[in-house]
């Protein structure tokens, strides 16, 4: 069997690696000049490291970590146990989970939260309500916004609302009133499940070196092929099967994470024949490869109505090393910064602080100039972190990621397509494909494994592991005693 995989992001590389390990000959097609998709990095002409945004890994990324362990890449990750919460004009709140069993591991951050006792009880009640949903039950909350869920529990304004804004942005890149409750609660459940949930990791080296290169190199060593600067033009379907993909050379000069489907020049086309096809492309990129008849035959007409949300990454090199730097991967509310990390804290080659920022509510800033975005980020950072007040910007880069993830609006989860389409040899991977996880690197890795399993099942084979973290005992007890039903959810 030979398989063509469209897209060399995490989903495509994981699917290809799992298949190549099991004797399927795989060719990965990537329009950009380098693999990685929305998890890649590169240098600007001035030598500043930039890329497709700030990426961190959490302990519940079980499938991604398992794949990285299989290619000896876990040593590339730096883990942080202590973190800070920042808000303009206020002192940093430092927090870490203690080592007690759940839910007592949350005592440290609970004590640190600036809430009156009444608000803490309401927060506890809301947390218990969320805990009784298993991960696969959270689709029951997909039709309401997270703001509706917040108001249902009378959580009010102030610090808890700030946390809600942060959670919605972190999970979906959307504001409270536009984000479905399902993905936000999923993110909160995973981030509070155990004392290990506070371990957040990032990469010692740029993403393309520390994350993508080990996956790509392992695939090549097994005999797989990655064709970069090659873009798919059309998926060719004959009868009830995919026969191949029409491709052509791409003149794309940067990662194709924008998924616009625009071509600067026409190039000669070529047909790549295949026994099976996996699309690991974002939804817009797949949409342009299917005519309406093929989309309907594949059962993807509704799924292709999904939209995406943008993100903006800003990297700033300052003229000095900040002492101290914000610990861990700080989370931020109250300004245009959502989170940040000082790359110089774990890269010896950076003598000055090089801070990577992710912009909150990026959609509002997409039309602004780079200079204005850089100036606003630097201004807000100086307010957030006093050691940066005197620091000057010496270099900076802005990256606009037009398709950061699918837009998790209320009702969007039911539109996410299954791995198997109605065309028997056509499969899907990508963080937007239907599974119980959010759009994330872990969602992409899981979807890649699901696609590989589906391909192998066409030959009555299996063997690709699917991992999921355990829920704490108290959550399982609540789910046994008070698991919500669809009827009750609709009444509520």
DSSP-based three-state secondary structure for 5: strand
Positive/negative CA dihedral, 322, 324, 330, 333: negative
Distance from C-alpha of 73 to C-alpha of 77, rounded to nearest angstrom = 8
- Tell me the CB-side half-sphere exposure of residue 421, using CA atoms within 13 A: 27
Distance from C-alpha of 74 to C-alpha of 68, rounded to nearest angstrom = 6
What is the token pair recorded at 172?
């979906």
Distance from C-alpha of 94 to C-alpha of 85, rounded to nearest angstrom = 6
Please, what is the end-to-end C-alpha distance for the chain in angstroms? 50
Positive/negative CA dihedral, 461, 465, 466, 471: positive
pLDDT for 195 = 83
pLDDT for 201 = 93
Q: What is the pLDDT along the chain (492 residues), one digit of tens a residue?
A: 999 999 999 999 999 999 999 999 999 999 999 999 999 999 999 999 999 888 999 989 999 999 999 999 999 999 988 888 899 988 888 878 888 888 888 777 777 777 677 777 787 778 888 888 998 899 999 999 999 999 998 888 888 888 889 899 999 999 999 999 999 999 988 888 888 888 899 999 999 999 999 999 999 999 999 999 999 999 999 989 999 999 999 876 666 544 444 544 556 789 999 999 999 999 989 999 999 999 999 999 999 999 999 999 999 999 999 999 888 888 899 999 999 999 999 888 889 999 999 999 899 999 999 999 999 999 999 999 999 999 999 999 999 998 899 999 999 999 999 999 999 999 999 999 999 999 999 999 999 999 999 999 999 998 899 999 888 888 888 888 888 865 444 433
| DSSP structure class, residue 140 | G
In the chain, helix, strand, coil percent, each to 5? 35, 20, 40
Measure the CA dihedral 169/171/176/177, to 10°. Answer: 120
DSSP-based three-state secondary structure for 171: helix
pLDDT for 192 = 85
pLDDT for 309 = 94
Q: Which residues of 421-445 are buried (b: 16+ CB within 10 A; e: fewer)?
A: bebebbbbbbbbbbbbbbbbbbbbb
Distance from C-alpha of 110 to C-alpha of 174, rounded to nearest angstrom = 26
What is the token pair recorded at 117?
């006792």
Count of C-beta atoms within a 10 Å radius of residue 204? 15
Specify the residue for token string 């990032």.
202
Distance from C-alpha of 154 to C-alpha of 351, rounded to nearest angstrom = 48
pLDDT for 362 = 92
For residue 337, list its beta bridge partners.
359
pLDDT for 253 = 66
Instruction: Select the CATH number that applies to the domain covering 2-33+228-306+414-457 from these four: 3.30.70.580, 3.50.50.60, 3.90.180.10, 2.40.30.20.
Output: 3.50.50.60
- Its pTM stands at 0.93
What is the token pair recorded at 465?
């592991």
């Amino acid at each position: 069997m030979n398989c063509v995989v469209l897209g060399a992001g995490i989903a495509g590389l994981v699917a290809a690696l799992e298949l190549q390990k099991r004797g399927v000959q795989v060719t990965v097609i990537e329009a950009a000049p380098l693999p990685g998709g929305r998890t890649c990095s590169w240098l600007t002409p001035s030598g500043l490291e930039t890329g497709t945004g700030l990426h961190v890994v959490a302990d519940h990324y079980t499938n991604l970590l398992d794949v990285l362990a299989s290619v000896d890449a876990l040593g590339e990750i730096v883990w942080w146990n202590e973190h800070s919460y920042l808000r303009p004009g206020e002192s940093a709140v430092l927090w870490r989970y203690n080592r007690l069993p759940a839910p007592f591991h949350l005592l440290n951050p609970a004590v640190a939260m600036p809430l009156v006792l009444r608000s803490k009880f309401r927060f506890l009640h809301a947390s218990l309500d969320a805990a009784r949903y298993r991960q696969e039950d959270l689709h029951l909350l997909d039709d309401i916004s997270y703001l509706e869920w917040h108001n249902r529990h009378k959580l009010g304004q102030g610090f808890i609302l700030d946390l809600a804004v942060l959670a919605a942005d972190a999970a979906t890149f959307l504001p409270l009133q536009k984000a479905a409750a399902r993905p936000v609660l999923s993110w909160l459940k995973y981030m509070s499940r155990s004392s290990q949930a506070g371990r957040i990791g990032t990469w010692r080296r740029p993403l393309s070196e520390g994350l993508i290169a080990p996956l790509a190199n392992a695939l090549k060593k097994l005999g797989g092929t990655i064709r970069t600067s090659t873009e798919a033009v059309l998926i060719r379907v004959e009868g009830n099967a995919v026969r191949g993909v029409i491709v052509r050379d791409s003149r794309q000069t940067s990662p194709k994470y924008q998924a616009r489907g625009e071509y600067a020049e026409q190039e000669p086309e070529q047909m790549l024949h295949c026994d099976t096809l996996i699309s690991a492309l974002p939804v817009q990129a797949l949409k342009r490869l299917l005519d309406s008849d093929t989309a309907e035959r594949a059962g993807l007409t509704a799924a292709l109505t999904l939209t995406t949300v943008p993100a903006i990454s800003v990297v700033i090199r300052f003229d000095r090393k900040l002492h101290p730097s914000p610990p861990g991967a700080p989370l931020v509310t109250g300004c245009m910064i959502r989170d940040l990390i000082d790359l110089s804290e774990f890269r010896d080659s950076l003598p000055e602080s090089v801070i990577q920022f992710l912009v909150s509510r990026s959609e509002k800033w997409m039309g602004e100039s780079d200079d204005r975005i850089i100036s606003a980020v630097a201004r807000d950072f100086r307010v957030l972190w006093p050691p940066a007040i005197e620091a000057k910007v010496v270099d900076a880069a802005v990256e606009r990621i037009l398709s950061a993830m699918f837009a998790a609006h209320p009702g969007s989860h039911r539109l996410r397509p299954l791995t198997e389409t109605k065309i028997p040899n056509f499969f899907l991977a990508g963080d937007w494909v239907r599974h119980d996880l959010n759009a994330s690197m872990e969602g992409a890795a899981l979807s890649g494994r699901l696609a590989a399993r589906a391909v192998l099942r066409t030959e009555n084979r299996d063997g690709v592991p699917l991992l999921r973290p355990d829920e704490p005992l108290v959550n399982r007890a609540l789910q046994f005693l008070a698991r919500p039903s669809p009827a009750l959810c609709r009444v509520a």
